[in-house]
Amino acid sequence: MTLADPTASHAGSPSHATKDYVFTFSYESFADAQKRGMMRPPDRLVSTLMTSPDVRRLLVADPYRSWVTSWLRDVIDARYRSRQTASFRHVSPRRFARADPTDVAAIARVYAAYENRVRTAAERAELDRPAFITASPLVAGFADLGWVSGSLYYARDDWLSSPARRRYWPAYREAYRRISESGRAVAAVSQEIIDRIDPQGPHRVVPNGIEPREWLGPLPAAPAWFARIPGPRAAYLGTLDSRLDIDGIMSLAKARPALQIILIGPVPDGSYIRALRDLPNVHIRGEVRRAEVVSVLRNTEITLLAHRRTPLTEAMSPLKVYEYLAAGKPVLATDLRPVRGLDPRVHLADSVADFADLVDTALGEGTQREEERIAYIEANAWSSRHREILSLLGG
């Protein structure tokens, strides 16, 4: 597949169009992706499909939404509503229930109905035997998809390891079994996920990547709030939830009191990180704009992958590490399978508490030389990752 400039439009260029596609999100909507700047892995893939001259028509489907709450979402998300064109359509299937059932047989019925809604939307959009890509394990496992030319599950997380979705683990387990036996293609961000699904069809590990336009160019000015924090600084980017090793960060902060630790990301449960708020050298910023993320990472001294070792983190391809390296910064990381051998500038430790012994080494490395940083960005661009994913569908 040819990957076009994502700022360009391919509408009105039928001479290049070769295939129709359907893409379905997992638990977030297209509006959610727009609000966050199309920056998560599924968002990036949708952006590629929206702009490639080799895509004739694209239908993007949200997960089920409840009729009860949809009216409010429609008001809040009005500015992020998709613009329908001849080459791009969007559908947001509605139902009365606010959540999926937990019974596996009921889940199967729910996703058969969901598939029918998406198929009807595809027919109305005049898609011709589209290729089907889903980021939802339940769609991948329980949809029949006999009407498509090929189907692929894009696995960016191991949902069967997510503590927040424990009640759905039986459904995910059955979905994995069905994905495996169906011969459906699977592109997963880590070998651990491939091993857990054990797909019998085409499959490949395709780790996360970099959007070069975000990371190339001169050094941006640091945000004012970040510039006021004295160095050396160590930044962590990501959701501040159970993946984060709170005890390890506390140990690191106490062992290296001159090191300023900055935690950036949404906080689903404030009680989880409460113990960190009293530490004078730990700074919790919360979620920030995308451009601010880039400027922080390019101006910090060290970056952190401060995760606990769990089945969930063992299966991740931490997007943040690729972005840390794109910023040219040394990384202190928990020794997890997906980051082993990733880059010489990723320094591994058994636990976050052990980062204290690696701080001086990382500070001594400093920022990577610019020509080497640029070469890393180009070698790990999302465009090459998407070619690998789509090749599993013959795209």
- Looking at every residue in the chain, the average pLDDT score rounds to 90
Residue 3 inside a domain? The answer is: no
Look up the domain containing 263 and give its range: 212-379
Residue 6 inside a domain? The answer is: no
> What DSSP string runs through 191-251?
HHHHHHH--SSSEEE----B-HHHH-SSPPPPPHHHHTSPSSEEEEES--STTB-HHHHHH
Q: Give yes or no: residues 222 and 98 share one domain.
A: no
Q: Give yes or no: residues 183 and 255 share one domain.
A: no
Residue 5 inside a domain? The answer is: no
Q: Give yes or no: residues 43 and 118 share one domain.
A: yes
Residue 93 inside a domain? The answer is: yes
Q: Give yes or no: residues 249 and 195 share one domain.
A: no
Q: Give yes or no: residues 177 and 120 share one domain.
A: yes
Residues 297-341 pLDDT 10s = 999 999 999 999 888 888 777 889 999 999 999 999 999 988 898
Cβ–Cβ under 8 Å, residues 19 and 129: no
Q: Give yes or no: residues 192 and 162 share one domain.
A: yes
Residue 164 inside a domain? The answer is: yes
Alpha carbons within 13 angstroms on the beta-carbon side of residue 262 total 25
Q: Give yes or no: residues 366 and 234 share one domain.
A: yes
Residues 197-254 pLDDT 10s = 999 999 999 999 999 999 999 999 999 999 999 999 999 998 888 889 999 999 999 9
Q: Give yes or no: residues 272 and 363 share one domain.
A: yes
> What DSSP string runs through 23-82?
EE-SSS-HHHHHHTTS-SHHHHHHHHHHH-TTEEEEEEEPPPEEHHHHHHHHHHTGGGPP
Rounded Cα distance, 62 and 118, in Å: 9
What band does 14 get if pLDDT is binned at 50, 70 and 90?
very low
Q: Give yes or no: residues 164 and 263 share one domain.
A: no
Q: Give yes or no: residues 201 and 184 share one domain.
A: yes
Residue 7 inside a domain? The answer is: no
Q: What is the pLDDT at residue 5?
A: 39
The structure's pTM equals 0.85
In this prediction, residues 184-202 reach a mean pLDDT of 94
DSSP-based three-state secondary structure for 341: coil
Residues 108-119 pLDDT 10s = 999 999 999 999
Q: Give yes or no: residues 275 and 225 share one domain.
A: yes
What total number of domains does the chain contain? Answer: 2
In this prediction, residues 101-128 reach a mean pLDDT of 97
CATH number of residue 303's parent domain? 3.40.50.2000
CATH number of residue 84's parent domain? 3.40.50.11010
Q: Give yes or no: residues 220 and 342 share one domain.
A: yes
